Structure 1
């Protein structure tokens, strides 16, 4: 955070001074750039404006204002000699070729005396637009599973919802496992996540089908739940490894089969499409996890990441409860905008890191951080609100007066929640979304739910921004 940035200041602030000194000595800055050697020096040395030996930087820091404004290197050499820094000391202790060599290097810092005390002013980071594609990709497994489940009856529908909600949270565990070994692919551990997702989907789908559809629907519910959960787990693996092309290819054939089933409904065709949905993404995920990695396929590997899964499951529960009140169409922008959410959180954190390198003092840093996070949340809410207006223009069944404020506030809450989750506030966030889901089921109006969610997240946002570690 300090060393690299400070060297940039030295290099950026000195070319004009170096060029002026070169003209006085009878050579130009162009000569210096071409030769890379300082004239009159006994050994070749790169002629870079910020090229100071580390120990000589101490001298640069201690230069008084009048000395840093010396008119030439000879004047600076006189000051150094008066301070007891002669040829021998500067050569032995400071790694220079002597008094005039040191004076020359320091003079080339003219205007940047005490430069190492200054903060850089880096440019604003670019927005990661490439991440927007991830939103439509997230839609592929869910859309394929939904179209297939609709053909297999109400029990399959309920199993699909449960498996999709499970996949929402489990994908966070998958990402945690992947980044626990950031420099290689933890193949064994990621394959374990696939096994757990398939087992949980089979069990959960069978149980909910038995509870809501009777014993005759248990097998169908288990198959749907297992296939959807396994495909969601495979999607998480592929996305965590950045394999967007393979992700799209893996879900192309299941989505095509689901479209055929929707046009020509039949149970055998639906089961065949379900098999494709389970098998093709799973094979793709197994293919990219061939490297074994150092993480073991064991419970101890998964356990540290389970709190994030629980947090994701409560978010999914709130989403399901909200969709039951508003309908799925008003919330379609949330799915399509998942990539924008990731990009927004990423960009907000990059801007905080930039502020930490260019702002002095925690009070000012907190002020900049608060405006950055709140504007990011507001921008995300406005973008999804605009998307909802556009979808309504296509004739979709959307009640804009009721849905628009809810979606805008809910989207802003999602970005605040995602940013806070990256700061380690998952326990608090889990409680917020669990209470929100319960309140919606008990009859809380959706706009009020969205407003309360935003208000509940403002206090931890303020306290988190008071911690300098949040700007890393």
Structure 2
């Protein structure tokens, strides 16, 4: 039976209006029929009010009418707070690398033979402890416990200094190194953790200003190559690091109201232990993956060791692009009606971010390569190592996005897969001990790491709720 036209008092627009924007997400008439029935519309009402035999006939007409209408735009909500801070975040890598200006002076004082292995070990320790403390502190701040977050950061500093003292002391005893090695390694780790604390509280300017005299002194030693200037540069550096540590500790004490009642830190930490353990595992795996690739070259193949400097300088850029992606993704949610539209736009944003990061890291990595070329030390291995670090940087950008989604366990598994290629592959493959084979394996592991994370991120974009 052919449907008759509904009366003018009961138009299709009147029928569709109560369904809201949900009607525009329907992909077939049966979905419209389900919406109508959920609103209590029966076959009798369809006949009497709209002139159709039943609900399904009415739903087909309504579905046809919906397709002629423009999609309603989502209501404009208050714009979310932007997390990206271009200049400040992009400078993070440079700020973390400020002590590098003192490395020549420190090496001249105690000898690179002892200093470089010690710095590799304490850098890994500081990476793990600093990451774990920052993860727990961010969680506590989010729950409204700023003073407890400060206590966590101070505890991380104490634990790191004690660990660095023990580690550097054992290294000095085992290798017959000077006692100054312990002092320099502890100073390096204290700066690493304290600088992270200043960045936690968004005090990038403080960090740069306090460390400026040390950088100037380090450059002066490089220009003059005088032993006494080197000793002065190291002393100035120790004083500046002490200023950074003191400023960071004062910031942790100034957070929150003095009389604010917060639960005991032990209870708070215990309640977040399940989330802290994966974060510690992720930090350990990333430190192991990156530092072990460079550690074997810090003494006899400096051309390979310095090839990854571009990644250190570009870490702030990766952080900024990750925050920029979150801002753009949240803005996209407000502009689309369908999850599929967001998924397509999100994949474009990921691809755009990866390409920008790879291009920027390539430019930064060219700086040490140009230096090696001028000095006549550019090799195939150093170029391969630089490419590998650029690839790792692209993977870390995607890793930041996945970490913001809470997929830390997935990140650990992906990093473990990369470690299965390098250094495990170096031990299993014939000729894996050569420098060329080693850096090629590292580049292959970095590429595998990036591809796995891209697949995980592409699948994660289907969950739109986390970007609302």
Shared fold, TM over 0.5: yes
- Matched residue, 2:3: none
1:461 equivalenced with 2:457 (yes/no): yes
- Matched residue, 1:321: 292
- Matched residue, 1:452: 448
Deviates more, 1:368-377 or 1:138-147: 138-147
Deviates more, 1:358-367 or 1:305-314: 305-314
Residues 216-274 of structure 1: CA distance to partner in whole angstroms, max 9, x if unpaired? 55x44433332211111111111100111211133234444545666333696587456
Structure-to-structure mapping, 1:40-59, within 5 angstroms: none
For residues 346 and 432 of structure 1, the distance between their equivalents in structure 2, rounded to whole angstroms, comes to 22
Deviates more, 1:185-194 or 1:122-131: 122-131
For residues 59 and 250 of structure 1, the distance between their equivalents in structure 2, rounded to whole angstroms, comes to 68
Partner residue of 1:410 out of 384, 392, 396? 392
- Matched residue, 1:287: 250
1:314–1:433 Cα contact (<8 Å) kept: yes
Displacement of 1:145: 5.6
- Matched residue, 1:264: 226
- Matched residue, 1:129: 86
Which protein has the larger Cα radius of gyration, Structure 1 or Structure 2? 1
2:154–2:249 Cα contact (<8 Å) kept: yes
- Matched residue, 2:53: none
| Alignment gaps of 5+ in structure 1 | 1-57, 65-113
- Matched residue, 1:367: 344
1:155 equivalenced with 2:114 (yes/no): yes
Partner residue of 2:161 out of 198, 207, 222? 198
Structure-to-structure mapping, 1:225-264, within 5 angstroms: 225-259=185-219, 263-264=225-226
For residues 276 and 237 of structure 2, the distance between their equivalents in structure 1, rounded to whole angstroms, comes to 29
1:178–1:190 Cα contact (<8 Å) kept: yes
Displacement of 1:300: 5.2
Change (3 A) 1:468 1:160: same
Displacement of 1:174: 3.6
Partner residue of 1:139 out of 97, 103, 117? 97
2:187–2:241 Cα contact (<8 Å) kept: yes
Structure-to-structure mapping, 1:82-231, within 5 angstroms: 118-119=73-74, 128-130=85-87, 131-144=89-102, 147-149=105-107, 151-153=109-111, 154-179=113-138, 180-182=140-142, 184=146, 186-211=149-174, 213-214=175-176, 217=178, 219-231=179-191
Structure-to-structure mapping, 1:286-435, within 5 angstroms: 286-291=249-254, 293=256, 294=262, 298=266, 301=269, 303=273, 304-323=275-294, 324=296, 327-394=304-371, 395=374, 397-399=377-379, 402-403=384-385, 405-435=387-417
Change (3 A) 1:377 1:121: farther
Change (3 A) 1:134 1:276: same
| Alignment gaps of 5+ in structure 2 | 1-13, 21-68, 257-261, 298-302, 427-431, 433-437
For residues 274 and 235 of structure 1, the distance between their equivalents in structure 2, rounded to whole angstroms, comes to 14
- Matched residue, 1:81: none
1:348–1:373 Cα contact (<8 Å) kept: yes
- Matched residue, 2:10: none
Change (3 A) 1:450 1:220: same
SS of 2:141 mapped into structure 1: coil
SS of 1:412 mapped into structure 2: helix
- Matched residue, 1:97: none
For residues 126 and 228 of structure 1, the distance between their equivalents in structure 2, rounded to whole angstroms, comes to 29
For residues 167 and 427 of structure 1, the distance between their equivalents in structure 2, rounded to whole angstroms, comes to 21
Displacement of 1:343: 0.7
For residues 419 and 108 of structure 2, the distance between their equivalents in structure 1, rounded to whole angstroms, comes to 25
Deviates more, 1:326-335 or 1:115-124: 115-124
Displacement of 1:315: 1.6
Change (3 A) 1:274 1:407: closer
Residues 95-133 of structure 1: CA distance to partner in whole angstroms, max 9, x if unpaired? xxxxxxxxxxxxxxxxxxx99953258999897422222
1:380–1:415 Cα contact (<8 Å) kept: yes
- Matched residue, 1:440: 422
Displacement of 1:381: 0.7
